[in-house]
Amino acid sequence: MTDDNPDKPAPLRIAVTGAPGTGRATVCTALALATGLDCASVSDGLVRPRTPRRLAETVDAAVRGFEQRVDGEARIPGSFLSDGSVLHEWAVAEATRRTKRLRHWALSPLDLPYRIFEERYLLAHHRIVARHAATTYDGFVHLRLPEDAEATADDARRTVVDRLLLDTLQQSSLPYLVVGGSLEQIVTHVTGMWQLPQRIPVGDAVSAALRAA
């Protein structure tokens, strides 16, 4: 049975992206509460490496995250918000690869085949996730990285994740919004730009999201 109602709005699928620590999950929760849209997300437990193998936190995690996100988002029939998007696990894996030079196995010549495979695999995986993102989402909201980043090794990786995501968004044909500020400012800006429905006041949604964080 098909829906022949021409006045029914098309589904709107917005991905909320950002480096770890930018508050992406809280933003997505607040937006979902304010608008009544479903929020698609992936549990860290489903993506976290299950073995100590060399490529577990890059190749394995990227594949597992992509599979979980594609499956979860396909189960939502209408409009939704994506907490991270299919780009997230790839960006984290690629940033990990680029910033792990001090790891003991990364310095061994015997591990050169692994490093070559890892680099080539993540390059090919990026093409897949970028193509899927372009056909799945209608736009992106990218949370700006705090200006004081890059003070530690972990912040350096976050900076690489941020740059990888922004570069991918700039290369796509989809609209994207780079936003920062308070949680209430972000939710107000996003709902206004995308003309999202409002189920409850933004202030109430923000308070509830902060309590749940």
Q: What is the pLDDT of residues 39-62, one digit of tens each?
A: 999 987 778 777 778 898 899 999
**Distance from C-alpha of 125 to C-alpha of 170, rounded to nearest angstrom:** 18
Q: How far apart are CA 93 and CA 67, in angstroms?
A: 15
Q: What is the mean pLDDT of the chain?
A: 89
pTM summary value: 0.89
d(CA 149, CA 101): 20
List of residues 6+ apart from 28 with CB closer than 8 A:
16, 39, 41, 81, 82, 83
| Cα–Cα nearest to 27, from 97, 95, 82 | 82
Residue 7 predicted with pLDDT over 70: no
Q: What is the mean pLDDT of residues 25-48?
A: 92
